Amino acid sequence: MISNKTKQIIQRALLEDKVKQDKTTRLVIPAKKKGQAVITAKEKGVLCGTDLVKFIFKKIDKKIKVEFFAKDADLINKEEKVATISGNLQTILKAERVALNFLSLLSGVATTAWLFVNKVKKAKVAIKDTRKTTPGLRKLEKYAVLVGGGKNHRYSLAEGIIVKDNHLKAAGIVNKENKVNHKSLKEAIKKLRKKTKFPIEIEVETFQEFLEVAKYSPDIIMLDNFSKKDLVKAVGYRNKHFPKIELEASGGISLRNIETVASTGVDSISVGSITHSPKALDFSLELN
């Protein structure tokens, strides 16, 4: 089911490409000529965006027929035929680029998420996305993360409490020497618990900050750019003294080091690169 928000995104993309003013297609292809095209995966990955592709073609021509041979979340192989489009050839050629752009982007995000999740499948750790998304496409990209087996962090600033380093400094909780004002921190957490029902997450950048913040039992502590040694120490301290606190690792996470991070025993790992720099999955559309 395509949401109204997604419909608006697709409509903007079609307007951007000026599909109704496709001069080449109108001048070269007879208006009533029909045919069939095949969408083929040019590399292995996780398929995502099938409903969008169907909607895009039918948005231009309700009579067009789009049949996918795989569904979102399926692992597809290089040179695998994933769909056929049958009907008016002008419609197929007008919608081709917009449809493939969405399919490539979302399949790329889903594939990237899958690669991270697959790397740590033996560990009991959640792989989360971040808000480092393409402006205007967050809803679609976060859907693709779920398709790839990852989990969504908060969708927007209105849907979660994460007190980051700049919040701590701006509120006077942490001074220029990175020393924590315990009274201010205690009051801030107390105030947050009264004002919101969201879990309270606080970001720390050093093991010493972690020790000081843990005393006030926030729901989640984000361990930003911690070394493996400090991650292990933080998990050990949490397990012994504050077992209910969830620990999230973040910062500099890549496919090269995520297994090491997961092995420390943290509960979740947030990975910005899943959405801010995924490799698009390549597809082609060819007429039969």
Encode pLDDT of 206-253 as tens digits: 999 999 999 999 999 999 999 999 999 999 999 999 999 999 999 999
Name the active-site residue from 58, 81, 97, 154.
97
Are residue 260 and residue 189 in the same domain, yes or no? yes
Boundaries of domain holding 44? 4-117+279-287
Name the active-site residue from 58, 81, 131, 132.
132
Residue 181: pLDDT above 90?
no
Is 97 noted as a catalytic residue in this protein? Answer: yes
Are residue 148 and residue 245 in the same domain, yes or no? yes
- In b/e form, how buried is each residue of 110-122, taking b as 16+ CB within 10 angstroms? bbbbbbbbebbee
pTM of the predicted protein model: 0.94
Name the active-site residue from 203, 205, 209, 248.
203
Domain at 169, CATH number: 3.20.20.70
Instruction: Provide the pLDDT for residue 66.
Output: 98
Are residue 47 and residue 187 in the same domain, yes or no? no
Instruction: Provide the pLDDT for residue 174.
Output: 86
- pLDDT class of 180 with cuts at 50, 70, 90: confident
Tokens 């039992």 found at: 217
Backbone dihedral angles phi then psi of residue 205, each to the nearest 5 degrees: -115, -10
Backbone dihedral angles phi then psi of residue 29, each to the nearest 5 degrees: -100, 125
- pLDDT class of 135 with cuts at 50, 70, 90: very high
Are residue 131 and residue 237 in the same domain, yes or no? yes
Instruction: Provide the pLDDT for residue 152.
Output: 96
Are residue 111 and residue 147 in the same domain, yes or no? no
Are residue 134 and residue 267 in the same domain, yes or no? yes
Residue type at 197 in one-letter notation? K
Are residue 76 and residue 164 in the same domain, yes or no? no
CA-to-CA separations, 64 to 11, 19, 58, 61, 277, in angstroms, rounded: 17, 15, 6, 6, 33
Mean pLDDT, to the nearest integer, of 187-196?
92
Residue 179: pLDDT above 90?
no
Are residue 218 and residue 100 in the same domain, yes or no? no
Are residue 180 and residue 48 in the same domain, yes or no? no
Digit-coded pLDDT (tens) for 240-270: 999 999 999 999 999 999 999 999 999 999 9
Are residue 110 and residue 155 in the same domain, yes or no? no
Name the active-site residue from 72, 205, 224, 248.
224
Report the number of distinct structural domains present in the chain: 2
Angstrom distance (rounded) from CA 100 to CA 108: 12
Domain at 32, CATH number: 3.90.1170.20
Are residue 148 and residue 86 in the same domain, yes or no? no
Helix axes 4-17, 89-119, angle to 10 degrees: 120
Digit-coded pLDDT (tens) for 42-52: 999 999 999 99
- CB atoms under 10 Å from CB of 18, counted, come to 10
Sequence-distant (6+) residues with CB within 8 A of 259 are 119, 120, 123
Are residue 128 and residue 84 in the same domain, yes or no? no
Is 190 noted as a catalytic residue in this protein? Answer: no
Name the percent of the chain lying above pLDDT 90. Answer: 91
